[in-house]
């Protein structure tokens, strides 16, 4: 059974960099699939942030591209998100997920982690 | 890259059928058969209900079905049950990116 678990600071100061990690169990990232990050501001809808292939190829939301970096560490079986120059608008629950092969649908999700941007 | 358009809310009585629409453009919904639908209960992670327009993952009730016509995709839930009350989001592939709809709150009366 594939399981994903987000971790990272729950509070980040404005203008700093948000960093989250998604630990994967039950499947080896190096075996394939796209792995993605999605966020949801409190009371609002879902927003796709970006995805990374096991080989390291990345695809980002054009509206966030200048501030986002997604990387993969196959030795630790995890992938990470960095979002720079954060503001209060980046306050959200951040989810990591695995895309189904050839479908671009998100079949496995982490439980999500709330990140608040505040001084 | 604009969000897909969904109605803010829909409602129905137990046993009835409802349909949620998801309107995009020829660059996303209309251009690819990669529309998916997610169900989200309060405080929970989204759950995949439909992928590739009309396919159901294993374990999802056959009361859920999907379709597409032109730039608009639809999710139909038949035989509404109380546990179907949730938020529903559509999503589509678009030019190496992915885009979500704004979400629809389903109320079971």
Q: What is the DSSP string of A65-82?
A: TTTEEEEEETTTTEEEEE
- Helix (H, G, I), strand (E, B), or coil: what is residue A22? strand
Mean pLDDT, residues A16-32: 95
Tokens representing B18 are 């409802």
Neighbour-count burial of B47, counting CB atoms closer than 10 A to its CB (0-12 exposed, 13-18 middle, 19+ buried): middle
Q: So what's the pLDDT on residue A105?
A: 95
Query: Do A115 and A10 form a contact (C-beta atoms < 8 A)?
Result: yes
Residue of A6, A61, A105, A108 best to disrupt the B interface, most CBs of B under 10 A: A105
Q: Does B57 touch chain A (CB under 8 A)?
A: yes
> Per-residue pLDDT averaged across A50-57, rounded?
90
Which parts of chain B have pLDDT scores under 70?
Answer: 1
CB–CB of A38/A48 below 8 Å? yes
pLDDT for residue A32: 85
Mean pLDDT of A26-55: 94
Q: Which residues does chain B have within 8 Å of residue A107's beta carbon, measured at their own beta carbons?
A: 48, 51, 57
Residue B1, pLDDT score: 66
Tokens of B77: 């839930």
Across residues A87-99, what is the average pLDDT?
97
Average pLDDT, chain A: 95
For the cut 90, the answer to whether the pLDDT of residue A56 exceeds it is no
Question: Looking at residue A54, what is its pLDDT?
Answer: 84
Share of chain A above pLDDT 70, in %: 100
Neighbours of A69 (CB within 10 A): 16
Cβ neighbours of A38 in B, within 8 Å = 100
pLDDT at residue B96 in the model: 82
Q: How far apart are CA A51 and CA A53, in angstroms?
A: 7
């Amino acid at each position: 059974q594939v399981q994903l678990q987000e971790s990272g600071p729950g509070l980040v100061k404005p203008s700093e960099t948000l960093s989250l990690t998604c630990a994967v169990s039950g499947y080896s990232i190096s075996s394939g699939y796209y792995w993605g990050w999605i966020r949801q501001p409190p009371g609002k809808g879902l927003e796709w942030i970006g995805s990374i292939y096991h080989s390291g190829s990345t695809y980002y939301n054009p509206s966030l591209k200048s501030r986002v970096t997604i990387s993969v560490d196959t030795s630790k079986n995890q992938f990470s998100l960095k979002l720079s120059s954060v503001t209060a608008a980046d306050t959200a629950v951040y989810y990591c997920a695995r895309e189904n092969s050839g479908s671009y649908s998100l079949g496995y999700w982490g439980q999500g982690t709330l990140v608040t941007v505040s001084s | 890259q604009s969000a897909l358009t969904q109605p803010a809310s829909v409602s129905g009585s137990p046993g009835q059928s409802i349909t949620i629409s998801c309107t995009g453009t020829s660059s996303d919904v209309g251009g690819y058969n990669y529309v998916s639908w997610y169900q989200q209960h309060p405080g929970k992670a989204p759950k995949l209900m439909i992928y590739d327009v009309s396919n159901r993952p294993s374990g999802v009730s056959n009361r859920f079905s999907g379709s597409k016509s032109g730039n608009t995709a639809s999710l139909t839930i038949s035989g509404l049950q109380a546990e179907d009350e949730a938020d529903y989001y559509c999503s589509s592939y678009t030019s190496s990116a992915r885009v979500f709809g704004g979400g629809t709150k389903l109320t079971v009366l």
